[in-house]
Structure 1
Amino acid sequence: MAADKTNRIFIREYKLLLLGSPGSGKWSFIIKLMGYRSCFQDIEDLVPRGEDSHRKQCVIDDDEIALLDVLPIYEANGLQAYPGWFCPVDGYIILYSITSRKSFEEVSAIYEQIQRVSGGLSCNILLAGNKSDLEAEREVSTEEGRALAESLGAVFFEVSARNDFYIDWSVHSLVRRIKRPDGPRVAKKKEEEDQDEAEAEGRRKHSFRAASAWVVNKVTKRGNWGFSW
């Protein structure tokens, strides 16, 4: 039976473009998505920035091995710098920083670029608000990000490249949408489930951090580990 299951698994390549304004965290996003484990100071010596795309295999929903081929675009003129790459593309990842309203406002211009190069066709897009770990520096609310994604017809997640928070999960949700072009309602339902679970996990982590901070504060005030609850 195991052999039969293995035979049902197939490999499909997904060509993705990663876009975003300077400072949105595209390079950190790539580092975490691809699993580059070296220290941040040395990573650029191992994986230079440039026109080369980054490739990674992953399993999506236990029925497919997805080969992700992701090209991050750093140039200010965006898609125009890679005329041979953007067509055809399976999906786009648009990154902004929740700590930069300017990067959020530039999403619309990036979307217009995508529409131009795609000839106005419907595109599979992931809108990701990066740096969700920097809550104290937030300039863009979650509701604003979700509303913009809805208007663009995009999958939406808030992620943290620094903490590796929902990097894989968000991209897998984009791949699921690409996989189900004839079943948008099914894909949409799964995206909503993913987003609900992501938000629940975020609340759990926030509660844990708050509890940890309370314990540290308690210990600091007492000056020893002899708790008195």
Structure 2
Amino acid sequence: MIRVLVVDDEHLVRSGLRLILEAAPELTVVGEAADGAGALAETRRLRPDVVLLDVRMPGTDGLTAAPELVATGAKVIMLTTFDQDEYVHRALRAGAVGFLLKDTPPRDLAAAVRTVAAGNAMLAPTVTRRLIDSFAERGPARRDAARQRLGQLTERELEIVREVGRGLGNAEIARRLTMSEATVKAHVSRALAKLQLANRVQLAILVHDADLL
């Protein structure tokens, strides 16, 4: 069973999300919070697998709380009515592995929680398009800085990291590069540690920043 914490400042929104998630197989809502500070307290107490986190809330907002929530080991999906580039970039760099709009259909919302719980990223289609467009607009300074960071990696690690940047999971990378899934996972873990990144989404962003694809 995938344990979910729902965080939103509006009670009706939290109730609606709870109904949607608990109607889906393999999902259970273990708690709720009304702001980022409450989310952190409940995450430490309840140890959810996934935190569904509103971006804009009074007090401690979702973007501020995200890094601390990620540090607990929870996987964070940002949920908002706004698909602004600033929010997407800040959320992903904070360690969130999902970014969805509040008009996401119930079935897709439940699927996103399962996807993120399994260790993969999930972005709303409109968010993905805008994020890709923004990569194309970045200048040489950012590219060179990203390439310098990636220079810490071995040739094999860099080969695998490129596939992460293409959005492939460990099993897909293993098949493409003819190696075991466990080996791929080990290389990804070492790359994340060397680069001091929280997750595969941040790793993929760095690959795109370096224009290695």
More strand by share: 1
Kindly name which structure, 1 or 2, has the bigger radius of gyration based on alpha carbons: 1
Normalised by the length of structure 1, the TM-score is: 0.32
More helix by share: 2
Normalised by the length of structure 2, the TM-score is: 0.34
